[in-house]
Structure 1
């Protein structure tokens, strides 16, 4: 016995007629008749007395049909509850940024996502890359944005490329280092602020520190809060690292200058997600926001970083 046949039987009881039940169910009368006969045969009892103008439920059939109606109602509620929870899950988007110092790159992306989709609820967290991958695998994150790494097909994860991340050293306007090509020893002569030593472009920073006689790591300010670091750099001779995304903004140009120092090759970036068959609506909206406002913006071909900041 299956739920479909039970629905047909309950419909006949409610309508008092096989023909009317067929119209309500949008199926043929013969299909309803067969379903009733199959259930009666399986139960070895008559559910209905056939009359000239319809059917009347028998005393034995009454108890069975009432219980069947309750079961069907419970099943319908179960399905509705599952759909409601799925709709709720579809609205929530848990995004990891690796490393945490790159959270600021997502400002325009998240603003676009939230302002254009009122239903979405964003939970953004910074995380070291390996920790973020573990959170993604165990279902505690829906997406991870960070440096691209080769993924094995067995992980069940998918990597979608984003524009590469390029960083530079920056300082306040009028800093003694502006206007000339710099070497590591030039940078090392001034206080250096960096978000951490685990993120992208850490190698150029370590190369700069090799020019110091003292213990290198004790010569750094490590501040993940970029507004805090920027406030210090604007008011002192300290220098720091910043992404080209921010360097190309008007807000940067009015306060700072990019220094002419080679920070190495751009770092490939990616959006990493679980290889789900049916992505949520919120995930689709995130991809649209990333396309409209990518967190990293490559340099214009043929133009140097300093030329870009001077325009």
Structure 2
């Protein structure tokens, strides 16, 4: 029993590592990774379970001791066993893999984007296959809407904004909202806002134990937390009330988002065989996770 608990925590950490790695790449979403590894809905509801009510009740508890129990109940209603290893994996990816991802994007960009093209394409098919019983004729409308919005967003041109703490904070809110939505890339949103290269350099400084820009990390992280907690409540509401339409929209969003890696492949054609192998590896990775999750759900 204990070993199975440890392995579950380890797998969650590895899934977080994969999510964080994907979030570093413009055009790829950590939400997509959460979807294909079978943790997306739990991830959304776990984020939604985070609230500050326990702080409110804790303060009131100094006047009325019964509020201490409310504070305790509110605190332990948060899904920590799920969130802690997952978030640790995401943070570790940000801190340790930023240089590796940057190296891949600089040396073999076509093959890197081909891998993620295959991954996103297969993910969209997986979502459709596992939720097709939910889809109705009206679902086609939401799929089409998702395709259109995804296609338009990833086609946005970059704008140059200042690197002030306030702008980095706002960028954190917006990009983290995108990170948890399959099909939308938080890294790409940062690229559009003109903050991607700046924040990537800040991350690289941290990996070399240079802390001169640490305030920007706190500003981005704090904005990201606000974005995550706020948007997760919207998503949990949509999954609870309009699950069919939400899944259909997400499927369309992933298809539309293929424009970004697709354009990178077409714009920089290089070593066709290696590119095709990379694309197939992306598809195979999703297939592996899909089969694993489907088998686990039928046990």
Q: TM-score, normalising length from structure 1? A: 0.20
Between Structure 1 and Structure 2, the one with more strand by share is 1
Q: Which has the higher helix share?
A: 2
TM-score normalised to structure 2 length: 0.21
